């Protein structure tokens, strides 16, 4: 199978060998991503970057990736910046982006919006996050970061912490890690634990998973601790959010019995889940992780637009 022309909506759209290929090409992209080498691989191609929900890293790294490969970018940020605010449908907006560009990166607050958009576009659609659904390109950069730091993916104990109900990054990530054989512990208040349908998919693929509320107990055995933000904007009631806000805060003193190589990841933005003191410890990998969005999205854009 080739990735050329494909939509990337859910992480399950990619076979494991396709994920491996993307990670291999991401590695090759590093010197160009860092600006040490120049590339014109996507000369003349246009990315439509449509972000109908807040974004810093995903949009900027998609756009940087396109620029670094010599391509061009057109962009919409926020519903207010487009004719959606006038009442135009998402379908019509997508039809226009399809007409003007070669590939679309889309973020939308509604789960399922990316899958729906792909049916209105002949240009490939990449899901940059659909509500509480999935975030497959974040998963690719998460996997790339684990592979760069710890080698083979799948041998680790991965502890995933925070808002596992509404967090789209952890939905995609756990489904990928499950296929790769990793052992996962989901740490969250019961109200925002990993949804049953994902747990049952994970068990169906034979993944070793458990749910708990106790972060401290999981630290010594963890190779990776993946922190996430409580997704305030997805709660129906502010009062419900307040019940779980600040549930887990990682502090330096909690890391005394952590493994030496244990890496702390976070898709960012963080609110108060990771104390800034941790930033200068050997465990902090979240800024390197965020940078990896560039080479990984370069690899994806190249493989989808040009093939291997
Ligand atoms: C995440 C997202 O948008 O889902 N951020 C990102 O893309 N790096 C996580 C979040 O918003 O908490």
DSSP string, 253-274: GGGTTS-TT-EEE--S--SSSB
CA-nearest of 64, 52, 196 to 114 is 52
Ligand 1 centroid vs 133 CA: distance in angstroms?
12
Q: Which CA distances in Å does 285 have to 26, 122, 138, 149, 223?
A: 18, 37, 15, 9, 12
- pLDDT value at position 80? 87
From the DSSP assignment, how many helices (H) and strands (E) are in the chain? 11, 9
138 lines ligand 1 (CB under 6 A): yes
**pLDDT 10s digits, 174-230:** 999 999 999 999 999 999 999 999 999 999 999 999 999 999 999 999 999 999 999
Mean of per-residue pLDDT scores for the chain: 97
CB 121 within 8 A of CB 97: yes
Ligand 1 centroid vs 240 CA: distance in angstroms?
20
CA-107 nearest atom, ligand 1: 3
Residue in the block written with tokens 């080498």: 37
| C-alpha span between 36 and 31 (Å, rounded) | 5
26 lines ligand 1 (CB under 6 A): no
Q: Are 32 and 120 found together in one domain?
A: yes
Give me the count of residues in the chain.
308
129 lines ligand 1 (CB under 6 A): yes
In a domain, 6, yes or no: no
Q: Are 140 and 124 found together in one domain?
A: no
Q: Whose CA is nearest to atom 12 of ligand 1?
A: 229
**Is 80 exceeded by the pLDDT of residue 273?**
yes
Residue 35 belongs to domain spanning: 11-134+293-305
In a domain, 4, yes or no: no
**Is 90 exceeded by the pLDDT of residue 1?**
no
Three-class SS of residue 82? coil
In a domain, 212, yes or no: yes
Q: Are 147 and 73 found together in one domain?
A: no
Our mutation pick for probing the ligand 1 site, out of 51, 58, 230, counting the most ligand atoms within 8 A of Cβ, is 58
Q: Are 172 and 226 found together in one domain?
A: yes
| C-alpha span between 204 and 152 (Å, rounded) | 23
Q: Whose CA is nearest to atom 11 of ligand 1?
A: 269
CB 263 within 8 A of CB 283: yes
């Amino acid at each position: 199978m080739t990735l050329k022309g494909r939509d990337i909506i859910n992480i399950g759209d990619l076979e494991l060998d396709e994920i491996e290929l993307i990670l291999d090409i991401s590695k090759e992209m590093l010197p160009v991503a860092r600006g040490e080498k120049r590339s014109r691989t996507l000369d003349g191609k246009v990315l439509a970057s449509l972000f109908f929900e807040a974004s810093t890293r995903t949009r900027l790294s998609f756009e940087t990736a396109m620029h670094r490969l010599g391509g061009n970018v057109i962009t919409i940020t926020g519903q207010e910046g487009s004719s959606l605010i006038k009442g135009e449908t998402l379908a019509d907006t997508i039809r226009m982006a399809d007409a003007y560009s070669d590939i679309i990166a889309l973020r939308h607050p509604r789960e399922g919006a990316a899958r729906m958009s792909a049916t209105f576009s002949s240009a490939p659609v990449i899901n940059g996050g659909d509500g509480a659904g999935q975030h497959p390109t974040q998963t690719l950069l998460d996997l790339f970061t684990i592979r760069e730091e710890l080698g083979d993916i799948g041998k680790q104990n991965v502890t995933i912490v925070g808002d596992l109900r509404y967090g789209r990054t952890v939905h995609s990530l756990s489904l990928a890690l499950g296929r790769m054989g990793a052992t996962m512990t989901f740490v969250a208040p019961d109200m925002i634990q990993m949804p049953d349908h994902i747990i049952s998919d994970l068990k169906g693929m034979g993944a070793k998973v458990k749910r708990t509320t106790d972060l401290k107990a999981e630290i010594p055995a963890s190779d990776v601790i993946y922190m996430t933000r409580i997704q305030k904007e997805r709660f129906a009631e502010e009062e419900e959010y307040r019940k779980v806000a600040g549930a887990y805060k990682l502090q330096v003193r909690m890391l005394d019995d952590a493994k030496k190589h244990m890496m702390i990841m976070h898709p960012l933005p963080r609110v108060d889940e990771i104390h800034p003191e941790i930033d200068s410890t050997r465990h902090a990998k979240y800024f390197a992780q965020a940078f990896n969005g560039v080479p990984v999205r370069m690899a994806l854009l190249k493989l989808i637009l040009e093939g291997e």
